[in-house]
């Protein structure tokens, strides 16, 4: 299929070549032979009258013209993907669609652990891939590589629409046998204790809870254990006098499994607003709308008691 002399199949090849900057890796990604990918690159060079990729030592680098094409290619492919997704009605009973969702391990535990069993019954052929947080989530969303990102409002991209999912409170968590839970916890109790903290590496500047503590001037804690996952925090508290600040929903999940207790922070702490974000071209995507509605239904069923 050609448009103004350009084989439209080459657009996908160009997108992958500019992303990977390697003919062999691009060939592997698109399940092509290396000679076929080299031929595709040659045809792109002829059409655009530009080398597209040039050798720099043992690596390939895109030309200035190729880099100028990248945003247009990204937008074009995302719009095509949205058009294809919205071109038919979505019937969950027979749909075979795969949804790629950028989300945290915390949401995997409190939302998707409840949603996935439901989907097996109402959408048995739909598959779900959860992608961990990273500094590329907004890029992958813009490129159409992700269907949905679920993230605190502070981390949403201004380039795409988002919808409210739920409010989350943070609580102080510790071993159920910790004497501090036998009385009213004070600020001094909290800051005098050793702490367990989840750190996400380079994925983000920090978790919502840690960032808000710093903004409120709540510094000087004695952090004794650092872990790479929210799901490890409760396990690190059992049998110790350490404390942690964590999501209330996650604390409730683990309180049903291990000997931990939780109370409201002994100081004012802001509410975290979790949002659903999707590509602006997918607002009419019936399948994506269905998935977001399922997420909202699960949240409504599992809403914490605001009086607790």
pLDDT value at residue 307:
53
Taking the C-alpha atoms of residue 133 and residue 199, their distance in angstroms, rounded to an integer, is 12
* Residue 237: pLDDT over 90: yes
Are residues 45 and 111 both part of a single domain?
Answer: no
Are residues 180 and 251 both part of a single domain?
Answer: yes
93 lies in some domain: no
Least confident of 6-10, 96-100, 110-114, 168-172: 6-10
Least confident of 140-149, 164-173, 178-187: 140-149
Are residues 149 and 295 both part of a single domain?
Answer: yes
* Residue 114: pLDDT over 90: yes
Range of the domain at 18: 2-73
pLDDT value at residue 306:
57
Instruction: Residue 277: name the closest of 129, 95, 152 by CA.
Output: 152
Contacts 24+ apart (CB under 8 A), 139-143: 140/102, 141/102, 141/277, 141/278, 141/279, 142/74, 142/78, 142/279, 143/74, 143/77, 143/78
pTM score of the predicted model: 0.72
83 lies in some domain: no
The segment with the largest mean pLDDT, out of 3-7, 147-151, 202-206, is: 147-151
- Give bridge partners of residue 263 from the DSSP assignment: 172
Are residues 179 and 223 both part of a single domain?
Answer: yes
196 lies in some domain: yes
Are residues 287 and 157 both part of a single domain?
Answer: yes
pLDDT value at residue 304:
61
CB contact burial 18-27 (16+ within 10 A = b; e otherwise): bbbbbbebbb
Are residues 232 and 294 both part of a single domain?
Answer: no
Are residues 207 and 134 both part of a single domain?
Answer: no
Residue predicted with more confidence, 282 or 156: 156
Over the chain, what is the mean pLDDT?
88
Average pLDDT estimate for 189-200:
91
Instruction: Residue 285: name the closest of 160, 188, 190, 133 by CA.
Output: 160
* Residue 203: pLDDT over 60: no
Are residues 290 and 248 both part of a single domain?
Answer: no
Number of folded domains in the chain?
Answer: 3
User: Which tens digits make up the pLDDT trace of 31-40?
Assistant: 899 999 999 9
pLDDT value at residue 165:
97
* Residue 59: pLDDT over 90: no
**pLDDT class of 305 with cuts at 50, 70, 90:** low
296 lies in some domain: yes
**pLDDT class of 71 with cuts at 50, 70, 90:** confident
The CATH number covering residue 152 comes to: 3.40.190.10
Are residues 279 and 201 both part of a single domain?
Answer: no
Are residues 127 and 157 both part of a single domain?
Answer: yes
Yes or no: say if 294 and 115 are a contact pair by the CB < 8 Å rule: yes
36 lies in some domain: yes
Taking the C-alpha atoms of residue 45 and residue 284, their distance in angstroms, rounded to an integer, is 36
Q: Match 């989350």 to its residue by tokens.
A: 168
**pLDDT class of 84 with cuts at 50, 70, 90:** low
45 lies in some domain: yes
What is the pairing mode between strands 194-198 and 222-227?
parallel
Are residues 111 and 246 both part of a single domain?
Answer: no
Least confident of 125-129, 193-197, 235-239, 301-305: 301-305
Are residues 157 and 190 both part of a single domain?
Answer: no
231 lies in some domain: yes
The CATH number covering residue 37 comes to: 1.10.10.10
28 lies in some domain: yes
pLDDT above 70 coverage of the chain, percent: 91
């Amino acid at each position: 299929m050609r448009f103004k002399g350009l084989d439209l199949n080459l657009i996908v090849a160009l997108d992958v070549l500019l992303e990977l900057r390697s003919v062999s890796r691009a060939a592997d990604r698109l399940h092509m032979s290396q000679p076929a990918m080299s031929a595709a690159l040659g045809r792109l060079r002829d059409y655009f009258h530009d080398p597209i990729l040039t050798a720099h030592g043992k690596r390939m680098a895109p030309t200035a013209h190729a880099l100028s094409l990248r945003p247009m290619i990204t937008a074009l492919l995302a719009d095509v993907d949205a058009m294809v997704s919205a071109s038919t009605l979505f019937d969950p009973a027979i749909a075979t669609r795969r949804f790629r969702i950028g989300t945290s391990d915390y949401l995997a535990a409190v939302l998707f652990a409840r949603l996935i069993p439901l989907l097996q019954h109402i959408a048995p052929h739909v598959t779900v891939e959860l992608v961990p947080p990273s500094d590329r989530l907004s890029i992958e969303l813009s490129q159409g590589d992700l269907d949905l990102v679920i993230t605190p409002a502070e981390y949403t991209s201004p380039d795409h629409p988002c919808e409210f999912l739920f409010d989350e409170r943070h609580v102080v968590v510790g071993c159920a046998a910790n004497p501090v839970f036998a009385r009213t916890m004070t600020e001094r109790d909290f800051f005098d204790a050793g702490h367990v903290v989840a750190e996400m590496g380079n994925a983000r500047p920090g978790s919502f809870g840690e960032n808000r503590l710093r903004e409120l001037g709540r510094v000087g804690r004695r952090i004794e254990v650092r872990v790479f996952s929210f799901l490890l925090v409760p396990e690190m508290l059992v049998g110790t006098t350490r404390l942690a600040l964590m999501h209330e929903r996650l604390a409730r999940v683990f309180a049903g499994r291990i000997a931990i207790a939780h109370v409201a922070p002994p100081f004012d702490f802001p509410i975290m607003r979790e949002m659903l974000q999707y590509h602006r071209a997918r607002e009419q995507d019936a399948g994506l709308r269905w998935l977001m509605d399922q997420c909202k239904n699960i949240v409504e069923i599992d809403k914490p008691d605001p009086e607790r």
